[in-house]
C-alpha cells in the first residue's frame, strides 16, 4: 500500500473510530436505559452512526470532490451489507455465549475491513466506469 493509501486508511480508521464511539454510545443507551435487545440496539446505533460516517468520510477521508448523488447510494449499500455482516457476527458470537461487548468489538473489526475496501474501490471511487 502506498503512503497516500496508508494515510487514507488511517483517516478512515479515525473517522470510523468516532463513528464507532457514536454507535456504541447509542447501543449502550438503548440496552441499559431503554432495555432494547442487543440486536436491535446495535442495528439502531449502526444506522445513526452511518449518516455521520458518510459525511466525515466524504469530506475528510476521501477528500470530497465526488458526486454525492452517486457516492451516497453506494455508501448506503456498502453500509447495509456491513450491517448484515455486523448482525451475523454479533448474534452468532452471542449465541456462543460471548459477552455482548466483546462480540460487538469482533463484529466491528470485521465490518471495518469490508467498509474500507468497498468504499475505497466503489462508493467513493471517482472513476465513472464503476
Tens of each residue's pLDDT in the chain, 130 residues: 688 778 888 998 999 899 989 999 999 999 999 999 999 998 899 889 989 999 999 888 888 777 889 999 999 999 899 989 999 999 999 999 999 989 989 998 999 889 889 988 998 887 654 4
Residue 69 domain flag: yes
The secondary structure of residue 60, as a DSSP letter, is I
Give the model's pLDDT for residue 40. 94
Q: How far is residue 63 CA from its own chain's centroid? A: 18
Q: What is the pTM of this model?
A: 0.75
Range of the domain at 35: 3-123
CB-based contacts of 104: which residues, under 8 Å, 6+ apart? Answer: 24, 27, 42, 90
pLDDT at 90: 94
- Is residue 130 domain-resident? no
pLDDT the model gives residue 124: 86
Residue 125's pLDDT is what? 80
Note the pLDDT of residue 41. Answer: 94
9 in a structural domain? yes
- 128 assigned to some structural domain: no
Whose cell is 494515510? That residue is: 7
Exposed (0-12), middle (13-18) or buried (19+): which is 67, by Cβ within 10 Å? exposed
What pLDDT, on a 0 to 100 scale, did the predictor assign at position 110?
94
Q: Does residue 38 form part of some domain?
A: yes
How many folded domains does the chain comprise? 1
CA 105 – CA 80 distance, rounded (Å): 18
Is 117 inside a domain boundary?
Answer: yes
Flag whether 100 is in a domain: yes
Q: If we measure between CA atoms, which residue out of 40, 46, 45, 39 comes closest to residue 93?
A: 39
Is residue 34 assigned to a domain?
A: yes
Amino acid at each position: 500500500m502506498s503512503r497516500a493509501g496508508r494515510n487514507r486508511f488511517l483517516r478512515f480508521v479515525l473517522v470510523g473510530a468516532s463513528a464507532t464511539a457514536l454507535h456504541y454510545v447509542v447501543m449502550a443507551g438503548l440496552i441499559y436505559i431503554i432495555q432494547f435487545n442487543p440486536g436491535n440496539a446495535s442495528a439502531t446505533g449502526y444506522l445513526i452512526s452511518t449518516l455521520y460516517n458518510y459525511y466525515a468520510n466524504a469530506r475528510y477521508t476521501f477528500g470530497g470532490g465526488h458526486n454525492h448523488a452517486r457516492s451516497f447510494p453506494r455508501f448506503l449499500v456498502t453500509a447495509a451489507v456491513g450491517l448484515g455482516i455486523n448482525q451475523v457476527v454479533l448474534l452468532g458470537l452471542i449465541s456462543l455465549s460471548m459477552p455482548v461487548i466483546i462480540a460487538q468489538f469482533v463484529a466491528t473489526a470485521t465490518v471495518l475491513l469490508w467498509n474500507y475496501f468497498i468504499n475505497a474501490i466503489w462508493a467513493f471511487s471517482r472513476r465513472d466506469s464503476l
